C-alpha cells in the first residue's frame, strides 16, 4: 500500500511533485483496535530494535529533566514533562519505516532503518520537525506567561516549593485550570496536523503542507474516533513517564507501529 518511491534514498535536491489530495477513508473504533493489534505484533517481531527507539526517547527525557534541575529551571519541569509527548510523532520515524518494511515482507537491519531516517533531512520531514518543536516551545512559554501572571509572588526555588504553590493554593488551581485548557488546545492542534502527516511523508513523495492538510482532513472527517485515539496516546504516554520515563521503552514503539497501520487504514494508497 505504498508508493514506488517509499523508503528509497531521495536525490540530493528533491522536488516533491504536487499530486492530488489523497482520499480519506472512514475510520472506526475497529480500525483502532486492529491497528493496535498490528502495532503490537510489529513490536513483538522486532522487540530489540523497536525498544531501542523507546529507550532513546526515554533517556532523552531523563536527561532533559535533569538539565532543567541543573540549570535551576524548576518551574519548567512539569510543563516539559507534560509537553514531552508532543514530540513523539517525530521520534517514531524509524518505527514507521520498520512497520512499512514488515508489511511488505522486506528484510532489514539497523543500517537500512537508520539510513532511511538520516535521509529524511533531504525530504520534508525536517519541516514537520520544525512545526512540532515550535508548538512545543509555544506550550512551554505560555506556561511561563501564566506563571508570571497568576503565581507572580510564589517561590520556585525548589521543586517542593513549586508543587506546593501549584497544588495547594487557589492561585495554583487557577494556573492549572488555565494551563490545562491551553495545553489541550495546543495538543489538539498538533495531533491534528501530525497524526498521519509523519508516516505519510515517509511513505510517499509529497510536501509537508499537503501532509498536514491530509492529517487535518482525517481528524475532521473522523472526529470522534480520532480524538479517542488522541486520548489513548495521551494517557498512555503520561502514565509511561511516571516510572522515570522507563515505560516509554515499551509504549512508544507500540504506539509508533500502531500509528503506521492506522495511517494505512485512514489514507488511501498513492496512485502509481
Cβ neighbours of residue 116 under 8 Å, at least 6 residues apart? 7, 9, 94, 97, 202
Q: Tell me the torsion sign for CA atoms 153, 158, 161, 162.
A: positive
pTM for this predicted structure: 0.80
Q: Is residue 158 within a helix (H) or strand (E), and if so which, with residue range? A: none
Q: What is the pLDDT of residue 155?
A: 62
Buried-state track 76-94, b at ≥16 Cβ within 10 A, e below 16? bbbbbbbbbbbbbbbbbbb
Is the CB of residue 201 less than 8 Å from the CB of residue 208? yes
Q: What is the pLDDT of residue 17?
A: 43
Helix (H, G, I), strand (E, B) or coil at 271: coil
Q: What is the pLDDT of residue 127?
A: 78
Query: What is the full per-residue pLDDT of the chain (272 aa) written as tens digits?
Result: 444 444 444 444 444 444 568 899 999 999 999 999 999 999 999 999 999 988 988 888 888 888 887 877 777 777 777 776 667 766 788 899 899 999 988 888 888 888 876 666 566 677 777 887 788 888 878 888 887 788 776 666 666 777 777 778 888 888 888 888 888 888 888 889 988 998 998 888 888 899 999 999 999 999 999 999 999 988 898 888 887 788 989 999 999 999 999 999 999 887 64
Amino acid at each position: 500500500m505504498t508508493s514506488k518511491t517509499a523508503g528509497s534514498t531521495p536525490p540530493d535536491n528533491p522536488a516533491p511533485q504536487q499530486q492530488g489530495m489523497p482520499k480519506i477513508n472512514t475510520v472506526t473504533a475497529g480500525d483502532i483496535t486492529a491497528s493496535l493489534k498490528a502495532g503490537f505484533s510489529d513490536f513483538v517481531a522486532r522487540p530489540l530494535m523497536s525498544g531501542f527507539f523507546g529507550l532513546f526517547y526515554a533517556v532523552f527525557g531523563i536527561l532533559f529533566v535533569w538539565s532543567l534541575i541543573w540549570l535551576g529551571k524548576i518551574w519548567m519541569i512539569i510543563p516539559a514533562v507534560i509537553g514531552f509527548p508532543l514530540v513523539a510523532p517525530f521520534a517514531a520515524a524509524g518505527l514507521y519505516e520498520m512497520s512499512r518494511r514488515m508489511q511488505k515482507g522486506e528484510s532489514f537491519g539497523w543500517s537500512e532503518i537508520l539510513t532511511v531516517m538520516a535521509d529524511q533531512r533531504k525530504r520534508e520531514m525536517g519541516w514537520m520537525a520544525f512545526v512540532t518543536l515550535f508548538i512545543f516551545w509555544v506550550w512551554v512559554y505560555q506556561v511561563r506567561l501564566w506563571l508570571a501572571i497568576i503565581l507572580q509572588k510564589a517561590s520556585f526555588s525548589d521543586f517542593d516549593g513549586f508543587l506546593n504553590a501549584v497544588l495547594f493554593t487557589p492561585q495554583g488551581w487557577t494556573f492549572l485550570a488555565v494551563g490545562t485548557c491551553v495545553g489541550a488546545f495546543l495538543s489538539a492542534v498538533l495531533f491534528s496536523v501530525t497524526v498521519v502527516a509523519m508516516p505519510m511523508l515517509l511513505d510517499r513523495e509529497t510536501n509537508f503542507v499537503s501532509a498536514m492538510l491530509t492529517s487535518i482532513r482525517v481528524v475532521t472527517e473522523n472526529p470522534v474516533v480520532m480524538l479517542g485515539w488522541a486520548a489513548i496516546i495521551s494517557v498512555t504516554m503520561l502514565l509511561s513517564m511516571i516510572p522515570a520515563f522507563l515505560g516509554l521503552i515499551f509504549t512508544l514503539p507500540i504506539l509508533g507501529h500502531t500509528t503506521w497501520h492506522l495511517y494505512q487504514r485512514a489514507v488511501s494508497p498513492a496512485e502509481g
